[in-house]
Structure 1
Amino acid sequence: MTRDILLSFIKPYYLSSTKKHERNNMDEEEPRDEGQQGGSVEQSPEQLVARAIAPVKKDFLRPPPVRSSSPNDGVSIPNDNNKTSVLAKEKKSKRQLKRERRLEQKSARNLCPEIAKTGDVSSCPYKDKCRFSHDLEAFKAQKPADLEGQCPFFKSGGACPYGLGCRFSSTHEDGVPSANLNGLKNNSEVNGLSKHVQKLLWKNKMSFSKADAQLKSLGLVGTSKSKRNDLENKDEGDTGSNKCDHSDYSGSCVVTSDSCCKLECPEEVMKDDDNDIDGKSESDVLCPQKRRKIAENCGPMDAENEGVSVTEQIVERSCTKSEPEAGTDALTPETDLSLKLHSREKKLIDFREKLYLAPLTTVGNLPFRRVCKVLGADVTCGEMAMCTNLLQGQASEWALLRRHSSEDLFGVQICGAYPDTVARTVELIEQECTIDFIDINMGCPIDIVVNKGAGSALLTKPMRMKSIVEVASGTAEKPITIKVRTAYFEGKNRIDSLIADIGSWGASAVTIHGRSRQQRYSKLADWDYVYQCARKAPTTLPVVGNGDVFSFVDWNNHRTECPELATDMVARGALIKPWIFTEIKEQRHWDISSGERLNILKDFVNFGLEHWGSDTKGVETTRRFLLEWLSYTFRYIPVGLLDVVPQRLNWRPPSYYGRDELETLMASDSAADWIRISEMLLGKVPDGFTFAPKHKSNAYDRAENG
């Protein structure tokens, strides 16, 4: 991107702001509220900090723009034809959106992927039954102009899977390249859900032998409703009922009336409709991916028996090893697979002093995590995924578990309300994904999650928390960690009373967010209470603190105040300035320039095009997530503009000028300016483009911000 093109985007905005500033200076000074920075009564930096207002140097301040008193439903962006387009519009129903997507599929804009790869209209195997368009000429006529730069797939040394649909197709070599990436857009990503497993989940025929066995051993095999009521009664102080009601269990196994809590597989599990296999359970017939995992993790003798069921192999090994010819008196866990590792004997993760990027909803996607890895993050965790959606085989939910090869220490976060769903999800993730740990979210404050009994709702039911952690740690071979808040209700903290037991439940680490569910994200985090919990925790249970870490000074203070803390989790601080990891490692306040910030955004765009695709759909998906991220980054105030360093997370930035045009544009709280930044990197937005941030906060309640 040349300097001239860059200035063409930002100069009109900068000049209009400068003229308005000069006009205001020429006018007679109007009285302002004494509480506003730059008002008739100047305030010292200390006074501003006390009122949580960022103390920006007076040379860079400008008066706030005049706000219209008339209500407005959205932001308007002027275009070349002096027309306006509203950013925030009324949401459409799911049925209406589905109908529009079906009509859109048949339009010329959605060319058949096979034809796009090869350029041959006859290459589609579905012919007239294909749900996509086969009109190659119409697609070329309406296709937007290619973007500047090189195809991200070619840049990374691979082949582009989008062919003619790629927005960088003019840079392709040898005509129309194609590649077989096994369903993934990028072969450096793992944890994709196979079609075979997805069909089993859709048909409710997936076998969860380990989870069901663990549920049985903990006495949680009865009907879901009875056991859930039993746990709730225990939470309320009732002893509950130990009676088994012998009714069907919702899952792959049921409880028979002949023997209490005896598992039997129903008939539908004994038959695979797709493969026409009778008389074998799902665990007996392994998909190629599972056979490959057995061959990789077992010895030569095991590889020869890959067609035999896992149970038969274990029995055969145990019998062979017990013979006198084996020449050993004691069996080690490595030679006897029938011996299960205790939860404390699992391979634990050393979180101490590691820079931990929190799992962040919407913005904590794979491209953003790659940016943070480049800037120094050590531990990354995927976005929170709901257990019920994963067990239903929803592709959009499984996409949250994707992992890039650069994430050397990676975990996934799941959220569930009951032990059975969490246990089955844990077993499924371990079978299908490559991960280092599994985190269970017991602190999510979102209403839709809490109303289902998950997230922060579990803080009111410690017995259910215990059952979930015990069954998950007993099912999984990977470490199980949990993330909690201080309490559900403000002023009724309870984690300190549970911290001594959480380790005995089987958790390998616990993260404590220093706010209650009722508090959400308002006020400052209660780090004194986090310290109290860390000191009460057993030495075998690492405690991770979370909340308001925004500089290396915050990081150092927590290390000094409480050496018992293993590390800090960085959340919103990384959203606003992802280079916080560099600052912590280098122990400095980085006065980053606007050009360096733009380069970070460019990296995100390149990573996003690799992840979501380089076709038109992928470009617009990347733009959407970029705009969501920009709705946080504008809160950053450059170090060189502050009277007091470092910036605190709760400071409200006043209206100010940057040191150059680009820095001024990046400081704007207007969604229209975020869109202008996206156009620098991804070209013009399509006609009718709308955007409104997903998250809710006071900064976005004004109509001007969409």
Structure 2
Amino acid sequence: MAEPSAELAQPPQPTLKPDVGDDVPVDTEQQPPPSSSNGTRSLSPEELVAKSIAPVKPQFLRPPPARNNPKDDDAAATDGSNSNDKSSQSTVVAKEKKSRRQLKRERREVKKSASNICPEIAKTGDVNSCAYKNNCRFSHDIEGFKAQKPEDLEGECPFANGGGRKCPYGLACRFYGTHKDGGGAVVEGNGSENVGKNSEINGLSKDVQKLLWKNKMKFPKADAVLKSLGLMGPGSAKAKKQDTVEVYETVPDDSLLSGENGLSELATDSFAKLDCSSEVVNSDADGAAADELPPLKKAKSDSKGNYCCGEETNGLDILEKDSESCFPQTEAEPITGDTLTETDRSLKLHPRERKLIDFREKLYLAPLTTVGNLPFRRVCKALGADITCGEMAMCTNLLQGQASEWALLRRHSSEDLFGVQICGSYPDTVARTVELIHQECVVDFIDINMGCPIDIVVNKGAGSALLNKPMRMKNIVEAASRTVEKPITIKVRTGYFEGKSRIDSLIADIGNWGAHAVTIHGRSRQQRYSKLADWDYVYQCARKAPQSLQVLGNGDVFSYVDWNKHKSECPELSSCMIARGALTKPWIFTEIKEQRHWDISSGERFNILKDYVRVGLEHWGSDTKGVETTRRFLLEWLSYTCRYIPVGLLDVIPQHLNWRPPSYYGRDDLETLMSSDSAADWIRISEMLLGKVPEGFSFAPKHKSNAYDRAENG
């Protein structure tokens, strides 16, 4: 990663620029009159704050653009030629819709091109190292690959200090010139070279993924809990009509643990079918790659009870102690009234048997869609975050074995207190997902999202839609908490509709359902981000909660002043979750711990971006694909960081999240560039770190980060 050059760091701006220490503008003739269109110079700082406009010191404000004749402006708008950068950031181009067959053919052509060299050959540099020879889906033309490979990037390979492990991308690495000993070959070993300060865990094994693809994965603990609660779902009624009889009715309890009475034959037959059909998964006869196998449309749950605790059925090692606590009591009746059956006593662990987490006084980085990826969490950990949580993952996608969804559960070794967030509509889906995560991943807690306001999630009955269905909320939390020993937390909003809050009436019961902690976002689903968070309501809920339930607040925490205010006004509040504040300035964790306003310089901010790029290349790869993936996520993040206003430029501190920053100059060229809300300037910053963008590159933010007051969908 190169240092910002003087040439790249020069944004287009007037030649006369004020110095930091100036009390008055350098060129008074250039300044707009008090009645100028921006209206900021004629208002006092207090009046600007009342209008949610950031009170930037006058000497740093940009002069407004020259106004043309209104008729000319209308004509220009009609022609679509607006000179304003904000309104001309991107051009929408209608793309030709291609068929699936055409897209598939194009993917095969790309894989066979010289630019897509075989990974094994790239690692070793030896054409004969690929075991598939001529049947390989990738190119073996080393010279052709070198001829079209982009120039190496400046800087050192991110895997240079990998603890004795060479770069796994070899020839394909964009830092290949810095490799020593000629190499990219991975050092052979037992895997211990991957374990260290830079290791990542929580990957999904191929065997388990195939079982999920074929709906052959078994969930004994979840199904036992669901049966005890009477929540097996509509599929259980159809089970009696099928050929396979229910295991509980035909096999004695003792044989369930030993695989007797035909269970071993059943498992053998299942795996025989799996082995025979594995050729379909791995075969390339029809041009379909193994990783291109389309997931099933719906992750069907096996509610017939045809499962066994041995690894013969589901390919997983389930501890014998878990098996013994699951099955012998499954014939017991569900809970009635206040009476606990033997099934309930065995499935619901005593609170002292759980590994509890104390969230009090800890700095919690919220799960953030798209931008809250593993490299971003690593940056926040280095800046003082105590608790991190993965991006929200959909339960149905996890149960289908989608690799992209499982990537959201990845954990870095530096994340010492880490949780994952899942989102589902029904108790059976959530309970089985929780069991699967418990078996496949190493996490400290599992958070269930019941507050996501996104339409595509709500329309499926998940996220905020659950706020209208308290009984389903209860069933989800109970089923999940009884399935695993990990602490279960939930994240909610104040309610679905504004003014119709529900959570305060449920807060006393949430702890009894089995939740360890609840995070309350101080806005309704309908409100989205259109107003400030209602912290008084969050305090009300925290005071109603039982002592066994920890309550965390969320919304508009943007400085240590906000943190101290919420903690002092409501001692019952365990902690505060930090979300958009961390996106805009990840050093907020340092500010809270050191109790100061950090007037961070542009160079320090640029170093944080360099750290992000370095860990991003470690995570996504140092080849061309990994570089461009890192660039995309960096640009998504820059669409938030541009909203930060340096402390030294403000008349009133601290900055608040709802303040709109006016157009202003920074104290140096790089700070001015970082303040731009133009995607073209974000791309320029990415080029300082990752080299020139590919030909035809364009970028539009996935999230509307500039919509400060927009109330979407009501």
Shorter-chain TM-score: what band? 0.7 to 0.9
What does residue 216 of structure 1 align with?
227
What does residue 10 of structure 1 align with?
9
The answer to whether 1:70 aligns with 2:77 is yes
The answer to whether 1:284 aligns with 2:310 is yes
Q: 1:641 to 1:565 in 2, by over 3 A?
A: same
2:698 & 2:81 partners in 1: Cα distance? 10
What does residue 53 of structure 2 align with?
53
Q: Write the letter of the residue equivalent to 1:50.
A: A
1:46 & 1:700 partners in 2: Cα distance? 19
- Residue 178 of structure 1: which of 155, 164, 185 is its match? 185
1:483 & 1:475 partners in 2: Cα distance? 19
Q: 1:600 to 1:312 in 2, by over 3 A?
A: closer
| Identical pairs, percent | 70
How far off its partner does 1:272 sit?
A: 1.4
What does residue 143 of structure 1 align with?
149
User: Is the 1:485–1:517 Cα contact (8 Å) retained in structure 2?
Assistant: yes
Per-residue CA shift, 1:266-294, capped at 9, x if unaligned? 968962134699xx956422699955x85
Per-residue CA shift, 1:51-88, capped at 9, x if unaligned? 0000000110112446974268899999xxxxx99665
Question: Within 5 Å, which residues of 2 pair with 1:541-620?
Answer: 541-620=549-628
What does residue 237 of structure 2 align with?
246
Q: Write the letter of the residue equivalent to 2:414.
A: S
2:425 & 2:242 partners in 1: Cα distance? 16
User: Is the 1:215–1:221 Cα contact (8 Å) retained in structure 2?
Assistant: yes
Q: What SS class does the counterpart of residue 651 from structure 1 fall into?
A: coil
How far off its partner does 1:342 sit?
A: 2.8
User: Is the 2:523–2:529 Cα contact (8 Å) retained in structure 1?
Assistant: yes
Q: Write the letter of the residue equivalent to 1:247.
A: K
Per-residue CA shift, 1:98-142, capped at 9, x if unaligned? 554333222211110011011111221112221111111111001
User: Is the 1:88–1:690 Cα contact (8 Å) retained in structure 2?
Assistant: no
User: Is the 1:160–1:178 Cα contact (8 Å) retained in structure 2?
Assistant: yes
Question: Within 5 Å, which residues of 2 pair with 1:453-464?
Answer: 453-464=461-472
What does residue 498 of structure 1 align with?
506
Q: What SS class does the counterpart of residue 687 from structure 1 fall into?
A: coil
What does residue 425 of structure 2 align with?
417
What does residue 685 of structure 1 align with?
693
1:178 & 1:517 partners in 2: Cα distance? 51
- Residue 207 of structure 1: which of 218, 232, 239 is its match? 218
The answer to whether 1:435 aligns with 2:461 is no
User: Is the 2:225–2:347 Cα contact (8 Å) retained in structure 1?
Assistant: no
Q: 1:666 to 1:407 in 2, by over 3 A?
A: same
1:107 & 1:133 partners in 2: Cα distance? 6
Q: Write the letter of the residue equivalent to 2:40.
A: Q
Q: 1:544 to 1:201 in 2, by over 3 A?
A: same
Question: Within 5 Å, which residues of 2 pair with 1:347-358?
Answer: 347-358=355-366
Q: Write the letter of the residue equivalent to 1:565.
A: L
What does residue 291 of structure 2 align with?
none
Q: 1:313 to 1:557 in 2, by over 3 A?
A: closer
Q: What SS class does the counterpart of residue 702 from structure 2 fall into?
A: coil
Q: What SS class does the counterpart of residue 558 from structure 2 fall into?
A: coil
What does residue 171 of structure 2 align with?
164
2:616 & 2:228 partners in 1: Cα distance? 45
Q: 1:181 to 1:373 in 2, by over 3 A?
A: farther
User: Is the 1:201–1:392 Cα contact (8 Å) retained in structure 2?
Assistant: yes
User: Is the 1:76–1:85 Cα contact (8 Å) retained in structure 2?
Assistant: no
Q: 1:185 to 1:597 in 2, by over 3 A?
A: farther
- Residue 116 of structure 1: which of 92, 102, 122 is its match? 122
2:326 & 2:553 partners in 1: Cα distance? 44
How far off its partner does 1:177 sit?
A: 2.3
User: Is the 1:222–1:255 Cα contact (8 Å) retained in structure 2?
Assistant: no
Considering only aligned residues, what root-mean-square deviation do their CA atoms show, in Å?
A: 3.8
The answer to whether 1:193 aligns with 2:204 is yes
Q: What SS class does the counterpart of residue 482 from structure 1 fall into?
A: strand
What does residue 40 of structure 2 align with?
37
Shifted more, 121-130 versus 47-56: the winner is 121-130
User: Is the 2:156–2:178 Cα contact (8 Å) retained in structure 1?
Assistant: yes
What does residue 481 of structure 1 align with?
489
Q: 1:282 to 1:113 in 2, by over 3 A?
A: farther
1:627 & 1:476 partners in 2: Cα distance? 38
User: Is the 1:376–1:581 Cα contact (8 Å) retained in structure 2?
Assistant: yes
How far off its partner does 1:345 sit?
A: 3.8
- Residue 527 of structure 2: which of 512, 519, 523 is its match? 519
How far off its partner does 1:550 sit?
A: 0.1
The answer to whether 1:128 aligns with 2:130 is no
Number of residue pairs matched by the alignment? 633
Q: 1:700 to 1:457 in 2, by over 3 A?
A: closer
How far off its partner does 1:222 sit?
A: 4.0
How far off its partner does 1:700 sit?
A: 9.9
How far off its partner does 1:698 sit?
A: 4.8
Q: Write the letter of the residue equivalent to 1:60.
A: F
1:567 & 1:408 partners in 2: Cα distance? 18
User: Is the 2:118–2:138 Cα contact (8 Å) retained in structure 1?
Assistant: yes
Q: Write the letter of the residue equivalent to 1:199.
A: K
Q: 1:255 to 1:71 in 2, by over 3 A?
A: farther
Q: 1:185 to 1:29 in 2, by over 3 A?
A: farther
1:458 & 1:182 partners in 2: Cα distance? 46
The answer to whether 1:102 aligns with 2:115 is no
Q: 1:97 to 1:183 in 2, by over 3 A?
A: farther
Q: Can you give the 5+ residue segments of structure 2 that lack an aligned partner in the other structure?
A: 19-24, 68-72, 257-261, 278-305, 329-344
User: Is the 1:206–1:252 Cα contact (8 Å) retained in structure 2?
Assistant: no
User: Is the 1:388–1:416 Cα contact (8 Å) retained in structure 2?
Assistant: yes
User: Is the 1:459–1:488 Cα contact (8 Å) retained in structure 2?
Assistant: yes
What does residue 630 of structure 1 align with?
638
2:245 & 2:428 partners in 1: Cα distance? 13
User: Is the 2:90–2:699 Cα contact (8 Å) retained in structure 1?
Assistant: no
User: Is the 1:380–1:410 Cα contact (8 Å) retained in structure 2?
Assistant: yes
Q: 1:139 to 1:33 in 2, by over 3 A?
A: same
1:218 & 1:16 partners in 2: Cα distance? 72
Q: What SS class does the counterpart of residue 411 from structure 1 fall into?
A: strand
1:450 & 1:493 partners in 2: Cα distance? 17
How far off its partner does 1:246 sit?
A: 2.9
User: Is the 1:534–1:564 Cα contact (8 Å) retained in structure 2?
Assistant: yes
Per-residue CA shift, 1:161-180, capped at 9, x if unaligned? 10000001111111122226
How far off its partner does 1:381 sit?
A: 0.0
1:656 & 1:85 partners in 2: Cα distance? 18
What does residue 683 of structure 2 align with?
675
Q: Write the letter of the residue equivalent to 2:237.
A: H
2:241 & 2:636 partners in 1: Cα distance? 39
1:312 & 1:583 partners in 2: Cα distance? 47
User: Is the 2:247–2:307 Cα contact (8 Å) retained in structure 1?
Assistant: no
Q: Write the letter of the residue equivalent to 2:310.
A: D
2:608 & 2:411 partners in 1: Cα distance? 20
2:326 & 2:538 partners in 1: Cα distance? 48
Per-residue CA shift, 1:364-414, capped at 9, x if unaligned? 000000000000000000000000000000000000000000000000000
Q: What SS class does the counterpart of residue 111 from structure 1 fall into?
A: coil
1:250 & 1:393 partners in 2: Cα distance? 28
What is the TM-score when the length of structure 2 is the normalising length? 0.81
